[in-house]
Chains A and B, each alone.
Chain A
Amino acid sequence: MQERAVGFVFQHYALFKHLTVADNIAYGLNARKRSDRPAKAEIKKRVGDLLDLIKLSTFGDRYPSQLSGGQRQRIALARALAVEPRVLLLDEPFGALDAQVRKDLRRWLREIHDRTGQTTIFVTHDQDEALELSDRVAVLGNGRLEQVGTPDEVQEHPASPTVLKFLGDTIEVEAIAQGGHVLVNGRETPVSAPDGLVGPVKLYVRPWQLQFADAHEAHLEGFVRSSYRAQGRQRIEIDRPNGKLLVVEASDNARLAAGRPVGLKINNGYVFSN
């Protein structure tokens, strides 16, 4: 394990609680064989530079127990970087932190990455994190690699329903491919079917690809179950005839009473064979 030169950052930091912050960061360098070890002064300088990089310059003499979760994770990162690994591997590093700290650290990590150019593999189940941070995303499902691509590619051209469902809310709709178009409930949608695909297909629609419409335009219909406000938008729950629940967002001034029938038209979507 030692020879693989992989820098590892754990979800629960795994800092050495009996060592100071500076000693933690210097650990990898001090652990080297005498012949490979840099001079004491050099190590001290390296630690100092890393502390500056993670913006904790005055924390060198503190102990991990005196720091917050976010600070500890930054030190864990510095410690991993100190040995100049070929690859940095972060295993859900922000999982143990609360939402705001997580957002801040995400931004900070991106900056560090851009500054150091360190090859980094970031493992997460939070798709916002994955899309915000990465140059390339690999989506795994059930132990299989489903797709590798840039964040844009993966969102715009998902290779499978697994990828699609992982990367955001989806509404699954039974549809029929016919003559190059996709039809839902007998009505044509703007979604085109891939070449040669005919017959029953699965259409996946993102909530924002739906629009309220009258009965003569709508592809889907149902009854409003409830409508509530969240983060400046109205979230509307709709019961569909097939028993499934559909949740869409609308602007704040849309007020829909419970029980009211609604129609939705599909503006776009992703097609996969059954």
Chain B
Amino acid sequence: MSEAIAPADFPAAEASLRPPASVVTETGWVRWTLIAVAVAFLALFLVLPLVTVFAQAFAKGIGAYLAAFSEPDAHAAIKLTLITAAIAVPFNLVFGVTAAWAIAKFQFWGRDLLVTLIDLPFSVSPVVSGLIYVLVFGSQGLLGPWLIEHDIQIIFAVPGIVLATIFVTFPFVARQLIPLMQEQGTVEEEAALTLGATGWHAFRTVTLPNIRWGLLYAVLLCNARAMGEFGAVSVVSGHIRGLTNTLPLHVEILYNEYNFVASFAVASLLAGLALVTLVIKSVLEWRYADDIAAGARRH
């Protein structure tokens, strides 16, 4: 029988069994170089432009900044932007929830195709989004003659702007809610039904509370895009000052007139909105990650 092996005979176990730290991560200087490259890149391409907006807006002082908002055209632009968002966002909200219900709570042939179709506006260029509405509602469009006959103006008027905005922000709520509701399944709703609730009651008291954070998140993004949309709205708007200019279009007009301070001042409003959106978005992601999206982050 051999002698018992004493613990002292073993080399220090920890150190020799794990690979040395340097082979499971990059060496210090490599890491810091990469971090520096990443941060510098982001600073140059992303942060700098953002800072520029505010720097230019206040370049001539607070007085000039505020003067930009006293213009009636600016007021009209703000009003139009708010009205557009106030119509487009709820419309897409209702659509998104309805579509998510149909897609997530039932199994039927063609489901995936439907989801792809709903996603279409995302892959269409903003200018093309506006173009297609001109093709339908413009004076030379499909419904052109009919509209002229009934004296209804869609293109180069507010309705066109609202429609184009609806198109561009169409998938936002649906594509956020569909995976979320699919992950949540139908068990709770079924339980509610067995307890005697009507379908509508179950939706109100069971489904909605379960999706509330995802809904808020989706509405947030939808709103940011609705208020900031430029390309599609530019095509259908006609750029009539005081009538068919949203805030982004107003920014363009001021810029093209070399009224830089005013242009950036109005732009700072939109940039501020973007920052608020980002902050709330981040907070929602940190606190309610499981409740807003299924699995990995989606856009």
Contacts and interface: CB of A to CB of B under 8 A. Distances in A.
B211 to A, nearest CB: 10
A26 B245 CA distance: 53
B191 interface: yes
A19 B188 CA distance: 12
Contact of A79 (B195, B197, B201, B206): B195
Interface of A: 1-2, 6-8, 10, 12, 14-19, 27-28, 31-32, 79-80, 82-83
A242 B157 CA distance: 90
Contacts of B190: 8, 10, 14
Contacts of B187: 10, 12, 14
A1 to B, nearest CB: 5
Contacts of A18: 209-210
Contacts of B196: 2, 28, 31-32, 83
Q: Majority SS of interface residues in chain B?
A: helix
Contact of A28 (B195, B198, B209): B195
Interface of B: 187-188, 190-198, 201-202, 205-206, 209-210
Contacts of A10: 187, 190-191
B194 A7 contact: yes
Ranked 3 nearest A-B pairs via Cβ? A28-B195, A31-B197, A14-B191
A18 B208 CA distance: 10
A31 B194 contact: no
B243 to A, nearest CB: 46
B10 to A, nearest CB: 36
B193 A27 contact: no
Given A10-B187, A12-B187, A31-B205, A17 B195 contact: no
B194 A16 contact: no
B210 to A, nearest CB: 6
Given A14-B187, A31-B195, A31-B196, 18 more contacts: A1-B193, A2-B197, A7-B195, A8-B190, A10-B191, A15-B191, A16-B205, A16-B209, A17-B188, A27-B195, A31-B192, A31-B201, A31-B205, A79-B195, A80-B194, A80-B195, A82-B195, A83-B195
Contacts of B194: 1-2, 6-8, 80
A2 B194 CA distance: 6
A16 B206 contact: yes
